[in-house]
């Protein structure tokens, strides 16, 4: 049997995991608030703001990275076979995303609500309202509609981002089939999406349009995936080589990271809704910089490869695991920390480190006992293999 071509970019496993980790870090304080535990969520301090913004930043990076990788693979497939096998593309998405997504949707709707341990003081009692409508929204990959029309599903609200990706990739292979040459298609798509959103925001703000339209538009960060895909096209076709080669310098990577964090933490409130568009090109440049920089070999450490492999599960399970960590913390430790100097710092270190470790354990079990079976099936539908 002829061996399939493989595309592998060093360092991206580590970046994928770091993005998932940012989301976990940002959600710990929010979950503590939901469990009525002392927290700094939304208290107006810079630390609270910095932590809260890590989550959206991590998700936006996921979107850019996803757009970059999948577009690159589709370009490689088209060059090799002179076509894009859309049916195989859909099978690959189904086998990678659907099993874990639907498993956790089942857990969130039918198992966690039956365990008092996981009760959210505000959202849990509301779960039964419009229950089957919410479930249908999750089943049909529009979980973000639940956030727009109802209240979040406890410990599963973050699945909105997976819904956005699946919506985007429903049409993206067809777009790539139409791509002939040049940047025009990417530019047109980007301008089209941004223009539609501007019209929606103006309609809601100045013409009293329904807020749910704005909510859905704000969630649908298709721009990030388009920008990621556009940069993949540039990188694949070796365009703007002087600029691309400049990105391999370590100093450039540091400057890019500085700009990202500066934008995320200090952007004016009026620009909050377009923050992801502003930082997406920086994220795309960081991806290329990591690929190009040969001095970042430590990102290929086996531990980081492992964490990258389980990053999808890490993202899906992390909220449930943070609750597990907080609830399983022995009362004796909580009591000691509440009654001793420095106890607040110690208990929070335990919460963050414990959440990290529990999420890794649960994600690893899920990966090796559940997800890997479907990943093996996915390879049968791959024209170009991704990864090692």
pLDDT digit string (tens) for 45-62? 888 888 889 999 999 999
Cα separation, 256 vs 259, in Å, equals 5
Tokens for 332, please give them. 């004796």
> How high does pLDDT run on average in the chain?
90
Confidence of residue 329 (pLDDT cuts 50, 70, 90): confident
What's the whole-number mean pLDDT along residues 338-353? 82
| Confidence at residue 4, expressed as pLDDT on a 0 to 100 scale | 67
Cα separation, 10 vs 291, in Å, equals 6
Q: Does 40 have pLDDT greater than 90?
A: no
Q: Which of 316, 375, 355, 365 is nearest to 107 (CA)?
A: 316
| Confidence at residue 3, expressed as pLDDT on a 0 to 100 scale | 61
What's the whole-number mean pLDDT along residues 135-155? 94
Cα separation, 128 vs 125, in Å, equals 7
Q: Does 274 have pLDDT greater than 50?
A: yes
Q: Give percent above pLDDT 70 in the chain.
A: 98
Residues 275 and 267: beta-carbon distance below 8 Å: yes
| Confidence at residue 1, expressed as pLDDT on a 0 to 100 scale | 45
Apex 71 CA angle, 69 and 75, nearest 5: 115
Range scoring the smallest mean pLDDT among 26-30, 205-209, 310-314, 318-322: 205-209
- For 38, 71, 100, 288, 360, the CA distances from 310, given in Å and listed in that order, are 31, 22, 12, 22, 8
Residues spanned by the domain of 31:
5-386
Between 101 and 249, the more confident residue is 101
- For 73, 214, 228, 261, 305, the CA distances from 266, given in Å and listed in that order, are 35, 23, 24, 8, 33
pTM: 0.93
Q: Is 238 left (phi over 0), alpha (psi -120 to 50) or beta?
A: left
Structurally, the chain folds into a number of domains equal to 1
| Confidence at residue 330, expressed as pLDDT on a 0 to 100 scale | 78
DSSP state of 293: -
Residues 229 and 186: beta-carbon distance below 8 Å: yes
Q: How far apart are the first and last CA of the chain?
A: 19
Cα separation, 297 vs 300, in Å, equals 6
Tokens for 306, please give them. 């492992």
Residues 233 and 262: beta-carbon distance below 8 Å: no
| Confidence at residue 64, expressed as pLDDT on a 0 to 100 scale | 97
| Confidence at residue 266, expressed as pLDDT on a 0 to 100 scale | 85
Q: Does 90 have pLDDT greater than 80?
A: yes
Residues 226 and 190: beta-carbon distance below 8 Å: yes
Q: Does 188 have pLDDT greater than 60?
A: yes
Cα separation, 100 vs 106, in Å, equals 10
Q: Does 142 have pLDDT greater than 90?
A: yes
């Amino acid at each position: 049997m002829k061996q399939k071509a493989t595309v592998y970019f060093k360092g991206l496993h580590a970046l994928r995991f770091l993005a998932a980790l940012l989301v976990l870090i940002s959600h710990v304080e929010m979950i503590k608030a939901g469990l009525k535990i002392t927290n700094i969520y939304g208290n107006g301090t810079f630390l609270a703001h910095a932590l809260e913004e890590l989550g959206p930043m991590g998700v936006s990076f996921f979107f850019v990275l996803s757009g970059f990788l999948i577009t690159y693979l589709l370009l490689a497939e088209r060059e090799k076979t002179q076509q894009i096998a859309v049916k195989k593309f859909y099978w690959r998405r189904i086998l990678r995303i659907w099993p874990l997504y639907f498993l956790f949707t089942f857990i969130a709707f039918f198992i966690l609500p039956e365990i008092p341990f996981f009760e959210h003081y505000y959202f849990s009692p509301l779960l039964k309202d419009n229950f089957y409508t919410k479930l249908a929204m999750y089943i049909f990959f529009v979980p973000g509609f639940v956030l727009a029309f109802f209240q979040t599903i406890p410990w599963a609200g973050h699945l909105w981002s997976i819904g956005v990706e699946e919506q985007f990739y429903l049409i993206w292979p067809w777009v790539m089939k139409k791509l002939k040459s040049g940047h025009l298609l990417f530019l047109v798509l980007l301008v089209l999406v941004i223009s539609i959103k501007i019209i929606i925001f103006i309609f809601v703000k100045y013409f009293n349009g329904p807020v749910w339209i704005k909510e859905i538009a704000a969630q649908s960060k298709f721009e990030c995936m388009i920008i990621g895909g556009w940069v993949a096209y540039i990188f694949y076709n070796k365009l703007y080589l002087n600029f691309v080669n400049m990105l391999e310098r370590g100093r450039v990577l540091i400057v890019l990271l500085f700009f990202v964090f500066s934008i995320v933490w200090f952007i004016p409130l009026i620009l909050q809704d377009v923050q992801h568009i502003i930082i997406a090109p920086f994220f795309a440049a960081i991806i290329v910089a990591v690929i190009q920089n040969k001095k970042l070999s430590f990102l290929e450490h086996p531990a980081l490869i492992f964490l990258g492999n389980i990053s999808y599960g890490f993202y899906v399970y992390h909220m449930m695991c943070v609750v597990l960590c907080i609830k399983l913390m022995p009362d004796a430790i909580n009591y000691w920390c509440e009654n001793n100097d420095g106890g607040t710092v110690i208990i929070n270190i335990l919460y963050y480190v414990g959440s990290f470790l529990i999420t890794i354990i649960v994600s690893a079990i899920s990966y090796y006992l559940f997800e890997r079976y479907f990943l093996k099936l996915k390879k049968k539908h791959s024209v170009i293999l991704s990864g090692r």
